[in-house]
Chains A and B, each alone.
Chain A
Amino acid sequence: MDEEVFRAFYERTNRALWLYIAGMVKDNELADDLFQESYIKVLQSRIEYKNEPQMKSYLYRTATNCMRDHWRKMKREREWFEAEGGEAAEVRNPIELRHDLQAAFSGLSLQQRSLLWLAYAEEYEHKEIADILMLKEKSVKVLLFRAKHKLIELAGKLGITREVTP
C-alpha cells in the first residue's frame, strides 16, 4: 500500500475505528495506542489492497487482536502480581462511566462488546463479523443473540429502559 492509498483509507476509516476501540477499552490514551498499533500492523503486514471492505475487515480484525493481546498481557501481569503476594491492582479505568448505559455495556465481555458494536453500530453482516472476530458465522448469530440479551438484562438491572414501540 503506498502512502496516498493509505492516506485515503485512513481518512475513510479512522473515526469509526477509534470509536470501536474506545468503545471497547474505555480509556482514550489506551485507545490511541491500540488505534495506532492497528494501522501500523496493517501496514507492516504488506497485505495487498484489493478492495475497501476486505481491507476494512482486516483492519478491524487486527484491532480486535491488539485489544485481545492487551487484555491477555494485563491478565498475566495481574496473575503474576497476585502470585508474588501482592494485592491485585484495580483495572485502570480512567474515564468515568458517563452514564448507566456505559456501565451496562462495560459489564459485557470484550467479545460481546465487539459483536454488538460491529453488528449494531457498524452494521456489519454476520459473515463479516465472523471474519473479523475469527468465529464461525453460525456462532456469530448465537453469540450476538446472547450478547444482546445480556445487554438488555444489565441495562434492566441498572434501571435503563428504552422505548420499545416505534
Chain B
Amino acid sequence: MTNVECEFMSDILRAVKSGQWTDSLRNHAASCPRCQETRATTMMMKELVANNPAHRLRDYRVIWLKAQYARKEERLTKFDLLALVGLSLSGIAGLFGLFLLMLPQLSGRFLDIMVPAVPRLSTVLSSGVPVLVVTGVAVMIWILTRDSIFIEK
C-alpha cells in the first residue's frame, strides 16, 4: 500500500461539501478506491461536525479581560524578580558599607594594603553608602509602582 493520495482528492472534497459533481468526477470517483475513501471520510467528518450540539460560547470581552489580567500578572512576576534582585544588591552593598564604617581601622588597613593608591576610601564610602541605599530603595519603589502608574490601555 502506498501512502499517496489521488490527484483528484481536493476536487472530491469540494464536490462532497458542495454536492456539485461533474460527470467526469463522478465517473472517476466510482472507479477510484482512494477517492471513495476520501468521499467516505469527508462524509463522516461532515456528520461529526454537524452532530456537535449548539453551544453557547464565551463573550469575547471575558477572554479579553482575562488576557489583560494574565498579562499584568506575568509582568508583576517579572517586577517581583527585579525588585528582589535590586533589594539583594542594595542590601549587600549596604551591609558591606556598614561593615567598613564600623571597622574603620580594619578597613583602613585593608585598603592601605590592597589599594595604597586610593586615599581615604572609607570616607568616600561613608558618604556614598546612604546615597546607594536611598537609590536602591527609590529604584525598588519605582519598579513596584510602575505598573500602577503606567496602566496599559
User: Are B3 and A19 in touch, CB under 8 angstroms?
Assistant: no
Q: Are A141 and B5 in contact (CB under 8 A)?
A: yes
The answer to the question of B21 belonging to the interface, with a C-beta cut-off of 8 Å to chain A, is yes
Least distance between B40 CB and chain A CB atoms (Å): 4
| Nearest CB of B to A17, in Å | 9
B48 and A102 within 8 A (CB): yes
Residues of A close to B74: CB separation below 8 A: 44
Q: Is B83 an interface residue (CB 8 A)?
A: no
What residues on A are CB-neighbors of B47 within 8 Å? 101
Residue on A with the closest CB to B26? A166
Range, interface on chain B? 35 or more
Residues of A within 8 A of B58 (CB): 32, 35-36
Interface pick from A4-12, A74-82, A84-92: A4-12
CA–CA, A23 to B21, complex, Å? 28
Contact status A22-B55, CB under 8 Å: yes
Q: For the complex, what is the distance from the CA of A121 to the CA of B50, rounded to whole Å?
A: 10
Interface flag for A43 (CB, 8 Å): yes
Q: Which residue of B lies closest to A145 (CB)?
A: B3
The interface size bin for chain A is: 35 or more
The answer to whether A23 touches B49, judged by C-beta atoms less than 8 angstroms apart, is yes
Please give 13 more A-B residue pairs, beta carbons under 8 A apart, in addition to A149-B37, A164-B37, A166-B26. Answer: A11-B60, A19-B49, A28-B55, A36-B62, A43-B64, A44-B67, A44-B70, A123-B17, A145-B4, A148-B41, A152-B37, A152-B41, A162-B44
A-B contacts, 10 of them at CB < 8 A, read A18-B57, A23-B48, A36-B62, A40-B66, A43-B63, A141-B4, A145-B5, A151-B44, A160-B44, A166-B26
Considering only CB atoms, which chain A residue lies closest to B14 in the complex? A123
If the complex has contacts A99-B51, A164-B36, A164-B39, are A155 and B57 also in contact, measured as CB distance less than 8 A?
A: no
Question: Which chain B residues border A14 with CB–CB below 8 Å?
Answer: 57, 60
Residues of B within 8 A of A165 (CB): 29-30, 36
Bound-state CA distance A58–B34 (Å) is 31
List A contacts of B90 (CB < 8 A). Answer: none
Count chain A CB atoms within 10 A of each CB in B17, B37, B44 and give the residue with the most: B44
**A-side contacts of B51, CB under 8 Å:** 98-99, 101-102
Looking at the assembled complex, report how far the CB atom of A104 sits from the nearest CB atom of chain B, in whole angstroms: 8
Q: Within residues 19 to 49 of chain B, which ones have a CB less than 8 A from any CB in chain A?
A: 21, 25-26, 29-30, 36-49
